[in-house]
Structure 1
Amino acid sequence: MRKIENNKLVPENKKTLGELIDSHLEPLLTDRRKNQQKILEICHVGKFLMFFENGFEISKVSEKPDFILNNGAEIVGLEHQIVVDNKSKEREGFFKNIFDLAELELQKDNCLPNFLANCYIKPYVNFRLSEKEELISIIVQVIKKYILTDIFDENPIIERIWKMPHSRISISGNLGSWWQKNLTIETLTKAIQKKEKLISKYKENIDKKQWLLIVIGSNGDSSFLIDRNIEYKVESKFDKVFILEDFNNRLFEIK
């Protein structure tokens, strides 16, 4: 396993990232909600390419593989894979979904000013899918009353709310602190093998080198971190395999 260093200063990184991804993001930003997964993937690949001095850029955003990279001398297919703990991700997804839907309801209310509300979810709460509509209604009522009157009603989901002026009506559900899990060899191997099942299809579409980018270390209980006590070294049909710790902005080459 080799750690790849990014020695650029913050302003330089910011400028480079914009040059790498802005043109690819622009057509997707007209519908952020619909395109949020592909927007996230492009941002990850931009952060990945910032580590290199070899001139690689995103030539094409595609499928099978997810991206085509080009530095003028070499073309590479790049497949992207986010690795998370699925059980924790399901819980995070449930709460994100109901707060997203509550936000849409609040945006329809002409009585409300623009605001950002960060809602701290009560620890250890769990709800059934059948309670989804009721929870959305509770969130809407509690936030609306708090925004208009500063009165916070006791309820089964939100522990407290922090608010501030904003350019639009926006809310988020904050699940609080969490313990991030270390990435195991088993979890990593399963993620690579899942992508390897389609590598023949990638090579049909672009008969060039194929790289795999594994992304871990985002915010949330579902995310993983590199275990410093493990030497991640894998055999793979991909020509190169990388792990990007997203939040910590660290990149490792493991093949």
Structure 2
Amino acid sequence: MKIIQNNKSIHENKKLLGNLINSHLELLMPEKEKNQQKILELCHVGKFLMFFNNKIQIDKLSEKPDFILKGEFGKIGLEHQILVNSKSKEREGFFENIFSMAEKELDSDKDLPNFLITCYPIPYVNFKISEKQNLIKTIVQVVKEFISSEKLIENPIIEKISMTDHSQKSLNVNLGAWWVKDVTEELILSAVRKKESKLTSYRKNSGEIQWLIIVIGSNGESSYNLDNRFKMNLKTEFEKVYILEDFNNRLFELK
């Protein structure tokens, strides 16, 4: 395994990221909600390409594979894969969804002032899908009361609230601290094999050279980190396989 370094300054990285993705991002933003997943993929790939010092760029957005690149290696098909703990991700998604729905209800209330509120759920609390609508109503009620009185009324979901002024109505959820999990060889192999089974269609659509980027280390309980001492002899039909540790901005070349 090889670590690829990014020694550029924050300002240099920000400028380079913009150069890499902005023209493609403009095509996705008019339907931002619909294209949310592709926007996330684009940001990941932009961060990935920053490690190559402008020698590789995005030619176009695609499907099967997710991107087609161009540069010093010629035309490259790039498939993107986010590796997360599915059980933790399901829980995160549930909470993010109900707080997002509550935010929409609060935003539609013209009598409320603008705010930036972060809610901290009761630790380890879990709910059923059937309770979703009641939970959204509860969150709206609790937040409205907190805005008017700065008092947290008794409820089954929110343990603590913080509030500050803001330019719009914004409601966030913070699921608290979590144990950092290290990614394993078995998880990586499973991710590679899953994508490897589609290589025939990737090559048909974008040529012989195919790369795979696996993204880990995003912020949340469902994410994985990569131990620096990790050793793996990966054999795959992909020409290159990389792991991007998103939050720590580290890139590892597995093949």
CA 1:114–1:34: 2 relative to 1, 3 Å: farther
Supply the distance in 1 between the matched residues of 2:115 and 2:62 (Cα, whole angstroms): 36
Report how far residue 27 of structure 1 moved. Answer: 2.6
Q: Is the 8 A contact 1:180 1:220 kept in 2?
A: no
**2:164 match:** 164
Partner of 1:17: 17
Shift of 1:54: 5.4
Query: Is it true that 1:32 corresponds to 2:32 in the alignment?
Result: yes
User: Which position in structure 2 is the counterpart of 1:83?
Assistant: 83
Q: Give secondary structure in 1 for the equivalent of 2:186.
A: helix
Map 1:176-187 → 2, pairs under 5 A: 176-187=176-187
Q: Residue 5 of structure 1 contacts residue 51 of structure 1 at CA under 8 Å; is this kept in 2?
A: yes
Partner of 1:50: 50
Q: Is the Cα contact below 8 Å between 2:75 and 2:207 reproduced in 1? A: no
Paired AA for residue 131 in structure 2: E
Moved more, 79-88 or 26-35: 26-35
Q: Distance in 2 between matches of 1:240 and 1:142?
A: 50
Q: Distance in 1 between matches of 2:222 and 2:169?
A: 27
The equivalent residue for 1:223 is: 223
1:100 aligns with 2:100: yes
What secondary structure sits across from 1:51 in the alignment? Answer: helix
Q: TM-score, normalised by structure 1?
A: 0.96
Q: Which residue of 1 aligns with 2:66?
A: 66
Q: What is the alpha-carbon root mean square deviation over aligned residues?
A: 1.3
Q: In structure 2, do the counterparts of structure 1 residues 9 and 236 end up closer, same or farther at CA, with 3 Å as the change threshold?
A: same
How far apart, CA to CA, are the structure 2 residues paired with 1:159 and 1:118?
Answer: 11
1:207 is matched with which residue?
207
Deviates more, 1:225-234 or 1:47-56: 225-234
1:81-134 deviations in Å (ceiling 9; x for gaps):
000010111111111111111111111111112211111111010111111110
Q: Hey, which bits of structure 1, 4+ residues long, moved more than 3 A?
A: none
CA distance in 1: counterparts of 2:173 and 2:194, whole angstroms:
31
Shift of 1:207: 1.5
TM-score, scaled to structure 2: 0.96
Query: What is the SS of the residue equivalent to 1:221?
Result: coil
Query: Where does 1:103-142 land on structure 2 (aligned, <5 Å)?
Result: 103-142=103-142
Structure 2 residue 236 is matched with structure 1 residue 236: yes
* Aligned-partner Cα distance in 2 for 1:92–1:98: 10
Identity of aligned residues (%): 57
Aligned to 1:190: 190
The Cα offsets for residues 152-195 of structure 1, whole Å up to 9 and x where unpaired, read as 21211111111122222111111000011110000110001111
- Post-superposition offset of 1:73: 6.2
CA distance in 2, matches of 1:148, 1:22: 41
Distance 1:208 1:83, change over 3 A: same
Deviations 1:181-233 (A, max 9, x none): 11000011000111111110001111231000000001111110112332033
SS in 2 for 1:77: strand
Q: Distance in 1 between matches of 2:113 and 2:69?
A: 44
Letter in 1 for 2:234: V
Which residue number corresponds to residue 6 of structure 1? 6
Structure 1: segments with no counterpart, 5+ residues: none
Is residue 222 of structure 2 the alignment partner of residue 247 of structure 1? no
Give distance in 2, aligned partners of 1:191 and 1:34: 25
State how far apart, in whole Å, the 1-side matches of 2:105 and 2:34 are: 17
- Structure 2 stretches lacking a partner, 5+ long: none
CA offset at residue 31 of structure 1? 3.5
Give the whole-Å Cα distance in 1 for the aligned partners of 2:37 and 2:73: 30
**Count of aligned positions:** 255
Give 2:69's aligned amino acid: L
